[in-house]
């Protein structure tokens, strides 16, 4: 019989949907001068949902909704924690930036919440249609958010680009799903896995490639990464942060479930494995190499996030609980490392109106905290100990080497050392440059909290990774025993 | 050794590690104009670390040998990482060396006024990182500490460095990239070793456990893994042809960084090759030994030749340190207890010597604003104390008897002459070139007619004398009473099962594996 236990499965989602609608109404009803209060309101509601989700992770049992349409396992809840934490940090660091926008309207925070809701649906989805609905909810929210600076041509251009490319990738994904449905007569992951059989057919091959392409667009896997730099550059900086961190993680959540539950050990497996190895290697190499000549911090972070997607793919290639654990661990620390970097970028862009790296000159003098947080975040992305990124990379690459893929580990380690080069160029500008004509930009309030929080978490997990590692293991084992 | 602590450990080493770290935190929260106070606190932190490591040096039970002052705390149980500290005869001299140089380097930077707060914060992080690598008994923790040092060095070189033949930005980036690319391959080797050791469950990173599981590593695996380690550690110890970061880096770096880098950081390469290469992968070491020996000769002779032609004082010492590392590599390649003794002692001796001479060059540059040898001359007239320090360093460099360097070089040649006769003789020939370039710079910089343009210079005094006194004392103390050092090193080499390891290697040779 159909189990219809909404309370056990969907509480955070329902709460978030309700909150999004309430915020939308409030934004319409209150006068513009009172809208300053919406940021704390959103932050508090996110903190509430986040606390419930943390409780959910440790104490509520694994269960499903409507016969596996939607799963409540630790894997999904782990990703929900990740999305909510990312949304919270983005909201906290965005207060000043968003209020400066001339046509500031109330729905910004509402859209952040609907995007988060979409991601949560993707993480929990047990079948293709539910996953697709989550994906579209997230993506459509992002179309609006990317183009939010409506009087800025760059932002509008980014919005249109994202709309066109995003719609195309959705179409490709849908085509893949329809092929799967045609082959197996089901859209549920578990039934698809048994129905697709061990025999190789061109249709199943095409379907898998299309699904990989559709999700690969979201995680900016090479060769589907071309949108990332332009859109990251044009979008408002907090939105860029959210796009780079959470939407990527959401696509990974969906990809892990689809790939490991459905495609694994099927006819496609061997071909798919080779394909993934090649794509992940290309992603790491191109992402890192193309980041080197960038002069705009957002473009630099865009290419760096492409490279990071490559590292995360490595964990999927391992096809094991250890690999999934690596992805989960790395995705979480990626949130904090990237959020630290983006909080500083948002702050500088708000105070100085520029995203060029040369305008970070002398930041070590003008705002020591921001410079230190930026340095630590970038080095964590590069995987330098004692910051969290090192442990994360160690998990990923030891998992894949354990399966015998040594070559990709070489590429990964060497490329992360290459990445140190362009990260250090930013560090150099901040510490060496004088920046005499630039203003002092001290950090206050929620932005300061975001920076300090990300910084402390990045160092703390790097020094003592055990608590997060245990959560990641529990989550990985709820999916791949 | 044993105590009532739950983990049955000693907290001496964490205290030594924590002292500079605590000083660093205090400095972080101080106003940046208080440069005098910042320096005093940095000096106090490193002094405590130095005093405690001297205590450890003499409290270590040499008859017992093995790892002492151990402390083991499970850190990441699922990976098998332990926060494990401990020192034996190999690592204790290195720990002492780090703290001697760390303490002296604070005083060598006593006149630093430009952004002093940031400078000393980074310097203390650097000292802590280097120290951590030597007291770690766990490969993961070892690597963690090793990589901590790379970034502070980069920032220090680009801010406080000097642009001479190459710009300081270039020098800093070159140094960083060389070390990081080396460490990328090292990481692959480390993960491979870790996975091979965990084949039968119970993953571990502990050095002794890794060494105890040698039966799990096949000969081809050992060769490949040692090759990776050789590349990583070889870049760090500036093995030819991966040495070119070293002279550029030292020339660009501020004095304190040159001292620590040439003095101890480089030695992590040699220490890693012995601790991880020879002990854990003896078959790999045996396979690569001829290669190491050949490259080591290139180090000794090639770098000495280049040092002859240099005009910049720091480049002379930079190339001389590459040349001296060749002796350490010959000793490692010879693979016998005597030569390994010599290698460890040589690392200690060269560390003290190069730190002393770099600090003296730092003072010369600070006072005369030039390091160009033709522009200098007759400095002994105006600055006799500085000249004494410079000459002590130079004499140690060319291995004058009664300095610790002589004993170390002698031991190395004793150990390697039977195994690698040709290389050892070529290496001894290298000493001649060392004498030539060392005496040349001493003669051209310190002696000669009095030059009136240096008459207003003040000799080193007060705090500036600390590096000269501390390091000069150590050079002669360990040179005249070598047993202070060698007794300890030897207890490390003999008690750590090296003999057994080397037997395994020679059996493998008889078995026709090679």
What's the pLDDT tens digit per position in B289-318? 999 999 999 999 999 999 998 888 899 999
Which positions in chain B touch A320 (Cβ < 8 Å)?
Answer: none
Is there a contact between B38 and B116 (Cβ–Cβ < 8 Å)? yes
The neighbour count for residue B31, using CB atoms within 10 Å, is 9
Is residue A1 in a domain? Answer: no
B30 vs A: CB within 8 A: no
Is there a contact between A81 and A53 (Cβ–Cβ < 8 Å)? yes
Measured N-to-C along each axis, helices B12-28 and B91-108 cross at an angle, to the nearest 10 degrees, of 20
Residues B172-193: tens digit of each pLDDT: 888 888 888 888 889 899 999 9
The neighbour count for residue B5, using CB atoms within 10 Å, is 10
pLDDT for B166 beyond 90? no
Mutation for testing the A interface, residue in B25, B173, B176, B180 having most A CBs under 10 Å: B180
Report how far apart, in Å, the C-alpha atoms of B443 and of each of A441, B380, B383, B390, B433 are.
54, 10, 14, 11, 15
Is there a contact between A439 and A351 (Cβ–Cβ < 8 Å)? yes
A465 vs B: CB within 8 A: yes
Report how far apart, in Å, the C-alpha atoms of A420 and of each of A281, A303, B180 are.
18, 13, 8
Are B158 and A398 in contact (CB < 8 Å)? no
Looking at every residue in chain A, the average pLDDT score rounds to 88
Are B194 and A397 in contact (CB < 8 Å)? no
CA angle A444, A448, A450 (to 5 degrees): 145
pLDDT band at B5 (very low <50, low <70, confident <90, very high): very low
What is the residue-wise DSSP string for A281-316?
A: HHHHHHHHHHHTT--BHHHHHHHHHHHHHHHHHHHH
Q: Which residues in chain B (139-168) have CB-CB distances under 8 A to chain A?
A: 140, 143-145, 147-148, 150-151, 154-155, 158-159
**What share of chain B in percent tops pLDDT 70?**
96
Is residue A82 in a domain? Answer: yes
DSSP label at residue B4:
S
- Could you write out the three-class secondary structure of B399-450? CCCCCHHHHHHHHHHHHHCCCCHHHHHHHHHHHHHHHHHHHHHHHHHHCCCC
Which pLDDT belongs to residue A281?
93
**Number of domains present in the structure of chain A:** 1
Helix (H) or strand (E) holding B496: none
State phi, psi for B86 to the nearest 5 degrees. 170, 155
Distance CA A403, CA A386 (A): 26
CA angle B500, B506, B511 (to 5 degrees): 125
Which pLDDT belongs to residue B357?
92
Is residue A184 in a domain? Answer: yes
Which chain B residue is nearest to residue A403, measuring alpha carbons?
Answer: B195
pLDDT for A457 beyond 60? yes
Which chain A residue is nearest to residue B132, measuring alpha carbons?
Answer: A386
Closest CA to B285 of B232, B238, B223: B223
The ipTM estimated for the assembled molecules is 0.87
Residues B192-205: tens digit of each pLDDT: 999 998 888 888 89
Closest CA to A277 of A247, A319, A332: A319
- Among A409, A427, A470, whose Cβ lies nearest the Cβ of B155? A427
The alpha-carbon gap from A465 to the nearest alpha carbon of chain B, in Å, equals: 7
Which positions in chain B touch A398 (Cβ < 8 Å)?
Answer: 79, 191, 194-195
Which chain A residue is nearest to residue B125, measuring alpha carbons?
Answer: A386
The residue that leads in pLDDT, A386 or A326, is A326
pLDDT band at A268 (very low <50, low <70, confident <90, very high): low
State phi, psi for B69 to the nearest 5 degrees. 55, 40
Is there a contact between A449 and A371 (Cβ–Cβ < 8 Å)? no
Span of A326-335, B131-140, B196-205 with lowest mean pLDDT = B196-205
Mean pLDDT of B239-244: 88
Distance CA B135, CA B142 (A): 8
Is there a contact between B95 and B81 (Cβ–Cβ < 8 Å)? no
Measured N-to-C along each axis, helices B404-416 and B337-368 cross at an angle, to the nearest 10 degrees, of 140
- Could you write out the three-class secondary structure of B59-74? HCCCCCCCCEEEEEEE
Measured N-to-C along each axis, helices A406-432 and A297-317 cross at an angle, to the nearest 10 degrees, of 160
Closest CA to B209 of B255, B147, B140: B140
Closest CA to A181 of A169, A191, A170: A191
Residues A50-60: tens digit of each pLDDT: 999 999 898 88
Are A470 and B180 in contact (CB < 8 Å)? no
Q: Is A250 exposed, middle or buried (0-12, 13-18, 19+ CB in 10 A)?
A: buried
Report how far apart, in Å, the C-alpha atoms of B87 and of each of A328, B10, B62 are.
37, 11, 12
pLDDT for A338 beyond 60? yes
The neighbour count for residue B462, using CB atoms within 10 Å, is 8
Are A385 and B77 in contact (CB < 8 Å)? no
Is residue A40 in a domain? Answer: yes
Distance CA B27, CA B35 (A): 10
Mean pLDDT of B105-123: 89
Which span out of A46-60, A87-101, A200-214 was modeled with the highest average pLDDT?
A46-60
Report H helices in B218-309: 219-236, 245-252, 255-260, 267-272, 279-280, 282-308
Which residue segment(s) compose the domain that A46 sits in? 6-479
pLDDT band at B379 (very low <50, low <70, confident <90, very high): confident
Which pLDDT belongs to residue A284?
93
Mutation for testing the B interface, residue in A417, A426, A429 having most B CBs under 10 Å: A417
B219 vs A: CB within 8 A: no
A413 vs B: CB within 8 A: yes
Is residue A144 in a domain? Answer: yes
Is there a contact between B348 and B404 (Cβ–Cβ < 8 Å)? yes
Tell me the count of A-B CB pairs closer than 8 A: 82
- Cα Rg, chain B, nearest whole Å: 22
Q: Is A175 exposed, middle or buried (0-12, 13-18, 19+ CB in 10 A)?
A: middle
Which residues have a Cβ under 8 Å from the Cβ of B450 and sit 6 or more positions away? B378, B381, B382
Helix (H) or strand (E) holding A221: none
Which pLDDT belongs to residue B514?
39
- Among A398, A410, A432, whose Cβ lies nearest the Cβ of B195? A398
pLDDT band at A46 (very low <50, low <70, confident <90, very high): very high
Which positions in chain A touch B183 (Cβ < 8 Å)?
Answer: 417
Mutation for testing the A interface, residue in B115, B122, B191 having most A CBs under 10 Å: B191
Place of tokens 């540059």: B365
Which positions in chain B touch A386 (Cβ < 8 Å)?
Answer: 144, 148
- Among A413, A424, A465, whose Cβ lies nearest the Cβ of B154? A424
- Among B173, B181, B185, whose Cβ lies nearest the Cβ of A424? B173
Strand-strand pairing, A70-72 and A63-65: antiparallel
The neighbour count for residue B385, using CB atoms within 10 Å, is 16
The residue that leads in pLDDT, A125 or B512, is A125
Q: Which residues of A310-320 are buried (b: 16+ CB within 10 A; e: fewer)?
A: bbbbbbbbbbb
Which positions in chain B touch A322 (Cβ < 8 Å)?
Answer: none
Is residue A147 in a domain? Answer: yes
Which chain A residue is nearest to residue B144, measuring alpha carbons?
Answer: A385
State phi, psi for B460 to the nearest 5 degrees. -65, 145
Which chain A residue is nearest to residue B81, measuring alpha carbons?
Answer: A466
Mutation for testing the B interface, residue in A379, A385, A426 having most B CBs under 10 Å: A385
Mean pLDDT of B106-123: 89
B196 vs A: CB within 8 A: no
Which chain B residue is nearest to residue A468, measuring alpha carbons?
Answer: B76
Is residue A293 in a domain? Answer: yes
**Helix and strand tally (H, E) in chain B?**
23, 2
The alpha-carbon gap from A432 to the nearest alpha carbon of chain B, in Å, equals: 6
Mean pLDDT of B22-41: 90
Which positions in chain B touch A427 (Cβ < 8 Å)?
Answer: 151, 154-155
pLDDT for B1 beyond 70? no
- Among B159, B180, B184, whose Cβ lies nearest the Cβ of A432? B159
Distance CA B161, CA A15 (A): 56
Are B188 and A385 in contact (CB < 8 Å)? no
Measured N-to-C along each axis, helices B384-397 and B404-416 cross at an angle, to the nearest 10 degrees, of 10
pLDDT for B215 beyond 50? yes
- Among B140, B148, B181, whose Cβ lies nearest the Cβ of A417? B181
Q: How many CA atoms lie within 13 A of A392 on its CB side?
A: 32
Mean pLDDT of A116-129: 92
pLDDT for B96 beyond 90? yes
Which residues have a Cβ under 8 Å from the Cβ of B317 and sit 6 or more positions away? B250, B262, B354, B357, B358, B361
Tokens of A28: 């319409």
Are B180 and A402 in contact (CB < 8 Å)? no
Are A413 and B188 in contact (CB < 8 Å)? yes
What percent of the residues of chain B are helix, what percent strand, and what percent coil, each to the nearest 5? 75, 5, 20
Is residue A397 in a domain? Answer: yes
Per the DSSP assignment, residues forming a β-bridge with B68 are: B87
pLDDT band at A33 (very low <50, low <70, confident <90, very high): confident
């Amino acid at each position: 019989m159909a189990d219809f236990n909404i309370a056990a499965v969907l509480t955070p989602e329902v709460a978030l949907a309700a909150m999004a609608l309430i915020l939308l109404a409030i934004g319409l009803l209150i006068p513009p001068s009172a809208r300053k209060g919406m940021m704390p309101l959103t932050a508090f509601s996110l903190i509430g949902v986040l606390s419930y989700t943390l409780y959910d992770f440790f104490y509520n049992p694994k269960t499903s909704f409507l016969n596996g349409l939607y799963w409540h396992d630790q894997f999904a809840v782990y990703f929900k924690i990740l999305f909510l934490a990312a949304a919270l940090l983005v909201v906290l660091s965005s207060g000043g930036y968003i209020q400066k926008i001339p046509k500031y309207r109330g729905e910004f925070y509402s859209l952040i919440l609907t995007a988060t809701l979409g991601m949560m649906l993707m993480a929990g989805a047990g079948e293709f249609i539910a996953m697709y609905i989550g994906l579209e909810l997230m993506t459509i929210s992002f179309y609006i958010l990317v183009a939010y600076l409506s009087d800025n041509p760059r932002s509008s251009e980014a919005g249109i680009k994202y709309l066109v490319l995003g719609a195309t990738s959705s179409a490709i994904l849908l085509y893949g799903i329809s092929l799967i449905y045609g082959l197996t007569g089901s859209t549920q992951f578990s039934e698809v896995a048994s129905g697709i059989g061990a025999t190789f057919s061109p249709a199943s091959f095409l379907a898998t490639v299309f699904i990989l392409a559709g999700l690969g667009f979201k995680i900016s896997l090479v060769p589907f990464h071309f949108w990332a730099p332009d859109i990251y550059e044009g979008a408002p900086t907090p939105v860029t942060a959210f796009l780079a961190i959470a939407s990527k993680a959401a696509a990974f959540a969906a990809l892990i479930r689809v790939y490991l539950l459905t495609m694994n050990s099927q006819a496609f497996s061997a071909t798919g494995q080779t394909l993934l190895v090649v794509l992940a290697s290309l992603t790491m190499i191109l992402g890192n190499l193309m980041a080197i000549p960038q002069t705009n911090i957002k473009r630099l972070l865009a290419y760096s996030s492409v490279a990071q997607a490559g590292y995360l793919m490595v964990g999927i290639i391992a096809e094991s609980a250890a690999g999934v654990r690596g992805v989960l661990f790395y995705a979480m620390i990626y949130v904090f490392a990237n959020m630290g970097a983006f909080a500083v970028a948002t702050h500088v862009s708000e105070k100085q109106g520029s995203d060029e790296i040369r305008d970070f000159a002398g930041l070590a003098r003008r705002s020591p905290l921001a410079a230190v947080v930026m340095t630590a975040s970038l080095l964590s992305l590069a995987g330098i100990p004692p910051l969290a990124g090192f442990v994360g990379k160690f998990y990923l690459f030891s998992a894949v080497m354990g399966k015998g893929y040594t070559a990709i580990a070489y590429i990964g380690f060497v490329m992360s050392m290459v990445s140190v080069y362009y990260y250090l160029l930013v560090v150099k500008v901040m510490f060496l440059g004088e920046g005499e004509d630039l203003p002092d930009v001290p950090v206050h309030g929620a932005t300061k909290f975001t920076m300090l929080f990300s910084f402390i978490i990045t160092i703390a997990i790097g020094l003592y990774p055990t608590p997060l590692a245990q959560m990641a293991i529990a989550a990985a084992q709820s999916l791949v025993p | 050794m044993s105590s009532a602590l739950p983990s049955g450990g000693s907290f001496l080493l964490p205290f030594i590690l924590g002292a500079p770290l605590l000083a660093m935190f205090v400095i972080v929260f101080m106003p940046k104009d208080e440069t005098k106070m910042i320096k005093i606190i940095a000096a106090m932190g490193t002094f405590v670390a130095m005093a405690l490591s001297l205590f450890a040096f003499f409290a270590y039970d040499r008859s017992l040998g093995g790892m002492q002052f151990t402390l083991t705390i499970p850190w990441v149980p699922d990976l098998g990482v332990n926060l494990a500290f401990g020192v034996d005869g190999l690592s204790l001299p290195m720990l002492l060396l780090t703290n001697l140089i760390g303490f002296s380097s604070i005083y060598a930077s006593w006149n630093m006024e430009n952004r002093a707060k940031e400078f000393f914060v980074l310097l203390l992080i650097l000292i802590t990182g280097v120290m951590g690598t030597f007291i770690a008994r766990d490969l993961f923790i070892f690597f963690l500490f090793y990589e901590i040092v790379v970034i502070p060095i980069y920032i220090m070189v680009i801010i406080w460095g000097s642009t001479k033949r190459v710009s300081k930005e270039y020098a800093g980036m070159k140094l960083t990239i060389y070390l990081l690319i080396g460490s990328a391959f090292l990481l692959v080797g480390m993960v491979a070793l870790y996975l091979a050791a965990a084949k039968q469950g119970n993953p571990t990173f502990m050095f002794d456990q890794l060494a105890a599981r040698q039966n799990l590593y096949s000969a081809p695996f050992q060769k490949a893994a040692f090759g990776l380690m050789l590349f990583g550690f070889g870049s760090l110890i500036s093995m030819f042809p991966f040495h070119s970061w070293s002279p550029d880096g030292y020339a660009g770096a501020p004095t304190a960084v040159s001292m620590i880098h040439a003095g101890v950081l480089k030695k992590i390469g040699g220490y890693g090759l012995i601790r991880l290469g020879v002990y854990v992968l003896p078959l790999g070491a045996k396979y690569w030994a001829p290669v190491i020996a050949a490259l080591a000769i290139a180090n000794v002779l090639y770098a000495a030749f280049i040092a002859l032609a240099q005009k910049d004082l720091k480049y002379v010492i930079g190339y001389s340190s590459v040349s001296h590392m060749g002796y350490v590599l010959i000793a490692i390649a010879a693979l016998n207890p005597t030569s390994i003794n010599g290698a460890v002692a040589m690392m200690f001796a060269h560390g003290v010597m190069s730190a002393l001479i770099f600090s003296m060059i730092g003072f010369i540059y600070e006072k005369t604003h030039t390091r160009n040898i033709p522009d200098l001359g007759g400095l002994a007239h105006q600055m006799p104390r500085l000249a004494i320090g410079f000459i002590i360093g130079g004499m140690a460099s060319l291995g004058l008897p009664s300095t610790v360097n002589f004993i170390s070089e002698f031991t190395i040649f004793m150990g390697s002459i039977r195994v690698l006769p040709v290389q050892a003789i070529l290496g001894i020939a290298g000493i001649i070139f060392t004498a030539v370039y060392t005496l040349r710079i001493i003669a051209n910089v310190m002696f000669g007619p009095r030059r009136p343009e240096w008459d207003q210079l003040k000799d080193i005094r007060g705090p500036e004398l600390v590096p000269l006194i501390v390091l000069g004392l150590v050079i002669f103390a360990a040179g005249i009473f070598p047993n202070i050092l060698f007794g300890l090193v030897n207890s490390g080499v003999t008690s750590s099962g090296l003999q057994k390891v080397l037997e395994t290697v020679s059996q493998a040779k008889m078995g026709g594996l090679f």
